[in-house]
Amino acid sequence: RMAVGCLLELAFKVAAGDIKNGFAVIRPPGHHAEESTAMGFCFFNSVAISAKLLQQKLSVGRIL
């Protein structure tokens, strides 16, 4: 949960223009987790959660 929270904070600050860019060094990265299934050491898909919340809360259309 802390990894997801750290990535969310970074993503929202970049999207809001508070900072120019950032790099999240977090564990677990979430690349093994599926939309509704934890896999390996990845309980949450941090990137997917961040992208979805940016779309919902800030109406961000494109996410790299």
The catalytic residue positions are: 32
SS3 3: helix
Residue 50 and residue 47: Cα distance in Å, rounded? 5
Q: How does DSSP assign 31-56, residue by residue?
A: SS--SS--BTTBSS-HHHHHHHHHHH
